[in-house]
Amino acid sequence: MSLLRSYDPEITTLQYLDASGQLHGQPAAASLTRDWLLRAYTHMLLTRRFDQRAIELQRTGRLGTYASCLGQEAIATGAALAMQAADGFAPYYRDQAAQLLRGVRMSEILRYWGGDEAGNDFAAARHDLPNCVPIATQLVHAAGMAVAYKFRRQAQAVLSTCGDGATSRGDFYEALNIAGAWQLPLVIVINNNQWAISMPRQAQTHARTLAQKAVAAGLPCIQVDGNDVLAVYAAADEALCRARAGKGPALIEAVSYRLCDHTTADDMRRYSRPEEREHAWQQEPLRRLRQYLMDVHAWDDAAEAALIAEIDACIDSEVQCYLDTPAPSPAAMFEHLYAELPEELVEQRRQAIDGRFRR
């Protein structure tokens, strides 16, 4: 008999709302009220239509490279609905839904993707970190925030997000290890959208689930249906409550599918199969929640049309605010880098101000 054994858990995925909009099991009572369900649906629809507008702005040269969140709205929405205002948030670059719930304005998000770092200086979400584009480094930053909360004995938690590709990075394992060793109030949510740019999930790790990567660090973990906002909320709420109570960290893997290019600089048709994308469209989160609301007579086509009109008017206003914001000076790229600029950057800054960059 071999002494070697693989960790082989029974893989179950928490799901309350299936792809056809049918309810199973008993989700948290708070998430089954009509007001909660309508808030979740309204916000996911807002996020999707804002996301579409951002892509239109990029395609017409009025926004820089942009990372869409199409098909993944339930993950950020469910997680953010479980957060308290005093909690800290360390996002990655596909967390528009959570940022909007945290009080970040659409115009601030557009300002950031338009190339202005001032868009990260959120007027309202002062507990939250800026967008993080380097892969997985936000998890280590989040662990640092959690250290501060624990040291100060504050009943607050930190929630951080990442993609499935981030779970192959050393920063991911380092954050899990320190969170487990020091029992930090940190909750990590993995958006497993099946693609790390063009690298499929099955090619980047032999682990049967991404959730079980927490086992070696001693963290409790769960896999949830990332297209089910009820399941995401339930898992995040329990994990955050534990963290605030001093019971340590947790890891949540939310399984979804990226229905969009990695960014507007990508073309996923070059590496994904059409039939796979079509299947994923049948699973997407807005479709199933809308169906459930209609089945329980809490929603109809007239309400949908009225909501879309209201959402689009709000987006129009925020887009105009972004377009009316003066572009930053070229010298802005040198700010917040060093306490004192090195001499070679002083010269480059001078050239930027004078408009005479030399190759």
pTM assigned to the model: 0.94
What was the pLDDT predicted at 330? 86
φ, ψ dihedrals at 48, nearest 5°: -65, -40
Rounded mean pLDDT, 4-30: 86
User: For 230-289, what is each residue's pLDDT tens digit?
Assistant: 999 999 999 999 999 999 999 999 999 999 999 999 999 999 999 999 999 999 999 999
Q: Is residue 4 part of a domain?
A: no
- For 90, the 3-state DSSP assignment is strand
Rounded mean pLDDT, 293-297: 97
Does 355 share its domain with 228? no
User: Whole-number mean pLDDT of the chain?
Assistant: 95
What was the pLDDT predicted at 357? 52
Does 50 share its domain with 179? yes
Q: Is residue 131 part of a domain?
A: yes
Q: Residue 222 in contact with residue 283, Cβ under 8 Å?
A: no
Does 108 share its domain with 231? yes
Rounded mean pLDDT, 326-339: 87
Q: Is residue 9 part of a domain?
A: no
Does 146 share its domain with 211? yes
219 vs 4: which has the higher pLDDT: 219
The catalytic site residues sit at: 258, 262, 271
Does 345 share its domain with 230? no
Please give the residue range of the domain that contains residue 247: 29-328
Does 288 share its domain with 345? no
User: For 41-57, what is each residue's pLDDT tens digit?
Assistant: 999 999 999 999 999 99
Does 61 share its domain with 193? yes
| CATH label of the domain that carries residue 298 | 3.40.50.970
User: For 64-110, what is each residue's pLDDT tens digit?
Assistant: 999 999 999 999 999 999 999 999 999 999 999 999 999 999 999 99
Does 92 share its domain with 223? yes
**Burial class of 123 by CB neighbour count within 10 A (0 to 12, 13 to 18, 19+):** exposed
Does 104 share its domain with 141? yes
What was the pLDDT predicted at 58? 98
Please name which of 247, 113, 265, 273 lies closest in space to residue 183, comparing C-alpha atoms. Answer: 247
Q: Is residue 13 part of a domain?
A: no
Q: Residue 180 in contact with residue 245, Cβ under 8 Å?
A: no
Please name which of 344, 350, 352 lies closest in space to residue 328, comparing C-alpha atoms. Answer: 352
Q: Is residue 222 part of a domain?
A: yes
Q: How far apart are CA 32 and CA 37, in angstroms?
A: 6
Q: How many distinct structural domains can be found in the chain?
A: 2
> 161 has which bridge partners?
189
| Residue 185 scores a pLDDT above 60 | yes
Helices and strands per DSSP (H, E), number in the chain: 12, 7
* Token pair for 34: 């009509």
Instruction: State the sign of the Cα–Cα–Cα–Cα dihedral 117, 119, 123, 124.
Output: negative
Q: Is residue 11 part of a domain?
A: no
What was the pLDDT predicted at 359? 44
Q: Is residue 324 part of a domain?
A: yes
Least confident of 34-43, 303-312, 343-352: 343-352
User: For 130-142, what is each residue's pLDDT tens digit?
Assistant: 999 999 999 999 9
Other Cβ atoms closer than 10 A to 240? 23
Does 294 share its domain with 311? yes
φ, ψ dihedrals at 175, nearest 5°: -65, -45
* Token pair for 92: 């990655």
3-state helix, strand, coil split of the chain in percent (to 5) is 50, 10, 40
All residues at 6 or more sequence positions from 293 whose CB lies less than 8 Å from its CB, including other chains: 37, 38, 41, 299
What was the pLDDT predicted at 1? 65
All residues at 6 or more sequence positions from 142 whose CB lies less than 8 Å from its CB, including other chains: 88, 90, 129, 158, 159, 160, 175, 186, 188
What was the pLDDT predicted at 289? 98
Rounded mean pLDDT, 221-226: 97
Does 131 share its domain with 148? yes
Does 301 share its domain with 158? yes
Q: Is residue 252 part of a domain?
A: yes
| Residue 162 scores a pLDDT above 70 | yes
- For 63, the 3-state DSSP assignment is coil
φ, ψ dihedrals at 71, nearest 5°: 90, -5
| Residue 212 scores a pLDDT above 80 | yes
What percent of the chain is modeled with pLDDT above 70?
Answer: 98
All residues at 6 or more sequence positions from 45 whose CB lies less than 8 Å from its CB, including other chains: 286, 307, 308, 311
| Residue 343 scores a pLDDT above 60 | yes
